[in-house]
Each structure stands twice: as C-alpha cells, then as structure tokens.
Amino acid sequence: MIAWLPRLVVALLVLVAGGTAGHWAGASVGAPMAGLCAGAVLALSAWLVADEWRVQRLMRWLHTASETEAPGRVGLWADMGYRIERELRVREQALADERERLAQFLSGIEASPNGVLLLDAEDQIAWCSRVAAEHLGLDARRDLLQPITNLVRNPDFVACVKASAGDEAVVIASPVPGTTLSVLVRRHGAGQKLVLTQDVTERHRLETMRRDFVANVSHEIRTPLTVLAGFVETMASLPLSDTERRRVLALMQEQTTRMQVLVADLLTLSQLEGSPRPTVDRWVSLDALVRRAMGDARGLSKGRHGLVAPADTHLLIAGAESELQSALGNLLSNAVRYTPEGGRIEVRWRRLGDGSGSLSVVDNGPGIAREHLPRLTERFYRVDGSRSRETGGTGLGLSIVKHVMQRHGGELQIDSEPGRGSSFTLHLPSVRLGTEQPTALSADTPA
C-alpha cells in the first residue's frame, strides 16, 4: 500500500501539470476548461504509456537476462527489478553451491573402487558410477533409464535385484569374463534401489586357493595315515612272523617319513610366507652351497646318475643360507628322482652381462610337456602323481623354490622338452652377488 502512495502522488502531479499546461494553452484560444481536460488526459496517458514501457522492459529482463543488471534506476519498477535481481542472485549462488556439493559427492563416489548404481521404482538405471558400469559391462550414459535386468541377465543378479531385501551380498560371475563380483542391493526412498558392486576376483581366487590347499593337505595326510592304520590293525590282530613284522614296520616307517617330509615342507612354505625378506648383508658361499647339494644328490642317486658340478666360482650370494640350500636341494632332488638310471644331471653357473647370475640344474630325463610348465610351481601340482609319491615327493618342492627366489629378488625359470630333459634355472640379481673374500661372514666361506 505504502509503495503505491508515491505513484498516486506522481499520477496526481502529472494530472495537475497536464491540466495546468492544458488550461494555459486553452485560455489562449478561449477554451480554458477544454484545454485543462485535454491536457490532464494527455499527460496521464503519456505517463501510463511510459509506465507500461517500464513494466515491459522489466518483464523482458525477467524472461531473458539473468546475467545483466535489472533495468531502470529510479521508480517503483526499478526498485522491484533490483529486489528481484537480488533474490535471483542469492538463489543462483545457492544453486551453484548445491551443484558444487553434488559434483564433489559424485566425484567421491567415482573415486571409490566400488561401484554404485541407482535404480528407480521400475528397476531402470537412474544413475550409474563409472566403476559400476565397468563391473556390470554397462555404458553409464547410453544405458540410462534402461531396465537393469534386461542388460545384466545373470540369474543370481536378477534374483538379487528382484528380492533386494537382505543385508547379504551375493557373489556372482561378472558379465566381464574372468571377474567375480560381490553385489549388495538395498531399497531406499519410494521403491528405489541402491546397488553396490565390488570386484572380489582376487579375494575369491585366494579363498578358492585356500580351500584347495586345505583339501590337498588333508588328502596328502589321510593317505599315509590310512595305510598306517591298516598296518597297525594288521599287527594288532594277526600273529606275524619276524620277517613279516620287519616288512610291515619298514612300510610303516616309509609312511611316517612321508608325513614328516610333507609337514616339513608345509612348515618351510609357511615360514617363507610369514617372515621378512632376507637382508642383503649376510653372505653365503655359492661353492659351499653347490658342494653340499651335490653331496646330498649323490646320496640320493646312489651312483645311478652321472652328476656334474660346476667349477668353483668364488662367489657369494646375499641371502638366507637355509632357503638357498633348500631351493638348490629341491631342484637336484627332483632331477635325481625323475631322471631314469644312467641319466646325466649337471649344475651350471653363468654370470650374465648385467652382473646377475644364473644357477641351473639340467637333466636329460623325461622332460615335461609344455602345458604343464606354467602350473609346476603351484602347490601340490604334479605331472605324474604316482611317480612323485613313489619317490617321496610332496608336490611342494618347486613352490618352495619359487618363493625362495622371489624373496631374494630373483626368479625360477623352467625350460623343458618331453624326451629331451629339463632345465631349472635360479636367476639371482646382481645386488645379491659378491666376490668371496677371506673375511666373508658366512660360516661356509673359507677363512
């Protein structure tokens, strides 16, 4: 009401001014009253037209220009324009702040290694993070508003989306080959759903490995235990002659030894996995290592093979002596166990141009088919299970060798050809190789 008062005053002033001017002009032609009326009407009309123009200008600004200043400097419409503009700026700022927060929130979700997917009440994709799109093989833009169950047809996933009640995540094979996903679906809002995806391929692989490992260990221990139990029962229930008793006891000892070797290998593996990497300040004589391993191999071979050792290298290896001894011992024991009588087994040492070195155990035994090579270092993997067990193998030897090499910054290389023999090479990095000094720390180092 107050805002209109000045306008009323202005309108009256315009009327008065127009009337006065009209009266003055009318008087000069002898019609002062007619002049007054005409002047008042003309002045008021002009004022109204000008007013309407200001209103139109303000309306145009409202429709088009939120960036520019509101039109006019004085008057009711200018004042109104200024107030609208101020309100507009406040809201624009609030909207920009809101957008910024939303963008930060979304980029936070995008930075997560887990995927997030929002479904509307019809299970159509309302929003999809980049990771969720990767996990489920979707296109985050193209597939918007598509029903998720048309795009991801895995029955477990579909059941999970349809049920969407539990707190339990389900593990499914991702549409992306070779990937395993954990998917959790939660309801929210008015029938919307939140789908969380996580890549659990590695965890799943480790769990499978652990399960297989426990199953393998149980199997490996159960077999000799069953044999032992059979012998114990035989001895308890049957009267045996001295010769028979000795034979049964020898067989029982064989099974006991088998279990002892298995447990020893398992302990070695768990120690290798659980202890820190060997430091580079303890030096072991390579020649002493080779000498000891060759001695053990000769004992195992009992003269059935031709064993050839390399010339003295006078080199030192930085690392854990027991581990290195076990690695070389395992390779030589395998060569002796798998190479038929009369075969040749040779240990070779080579220093490479970059300062690294390689210690190889080469045999001319049966060799190994190509398809087995990548799996030989897996625990309990055997090419010929019965041959391995007959000769006292646990299936853990090469797995131990691989671990030892990894802990020493080196690697195990296997080359083999069926019918021609095998070569197992321990590659040692240059930082772990040194020249034998009379003052070397190792007990094996000649003083």
Closer residue to ligand ADP (CB): 343 or 409: 343
Query: Interface residues with ligand ADP (CB under 6 A)?
Result: 330, 334-335, 338, 363, 365-366, 368, 376, 381-384, 388, 393-399, 422
Q: How far is the CB of 326 from ligand ADP (least distance, A)?
A: 11
Determine contact, residues 299/428, Cβ cutoff 8 Å. no
Q: Which has the closest alpha carbon to 300: 323, 345, 333?
A: 333
Strand, helix or coil at 348?
A: strand
Closer residue to ligand ADP (CB): 143 or 363: 363
Closer residue to ligand ADP (CB): 129 or 388: 388
Q: How far is the CB of 322 from ligand ADP (least distance, A)?
A: 18
Long-range contacts of 438-442 (CB under 8 A, 24+ apart): 440/283, 440/285, 440/316, 441/282, 441/283, 442/282, 442/283, 442/284, 442/285, 442/288, 442/316, 442/321
- Among all chains, which residue has been given the structure tokens 């209109």? 4
Query: For every residue of 140-159, which 3-state class applies, written as one string?
Result: CCCCCCCEHHHHCCCHHHHH
Instruction: Pull the structure tokens for residue 334.
Output: 């395998």
Q: How far is the CB of 258 from ligand ADP (least distance, A)?
A: 11
Closer residue to ligand ADP (CB): 271 or 442: 271
Q: How far is the CB of 231 from ligand ADP (least distance, A)?
A: 24
Closer residue to ligand ADP (CB): 182 or 399: 399
Q: How far is the CB of 345 from ligand ADP (least distance, A)?
A: 8
Closer residue to ligand ADP (CB): 38 or 359: 359
Determine contact, residues 120/187, Cβ cutoff 8 Å. no
Dist CA 340 CA 238 (whole Å) = 39
Instruction: Pull the structure tokens for residue 380.
Output: 């309990």
Contacts of 408 (CB under 8 A, 6+ apart): 277, 278, 317, 319, 320, 323, 324, 428, 429, 432
Closer residue to ligand ADP (CB): 159 or 373: 373
Q: How far is the CB of 338 from ligand ADP (least distance, A)?
A: 4
The angle that helices 4-27 and 76-111 make with each other, rounded to 10 degrees, is 140
Strand 180-188 and strand 170-173: the pairing is antiparallel
Q: How far is the CB of 388 from ligand ADP (least distance, A)?
A: 3
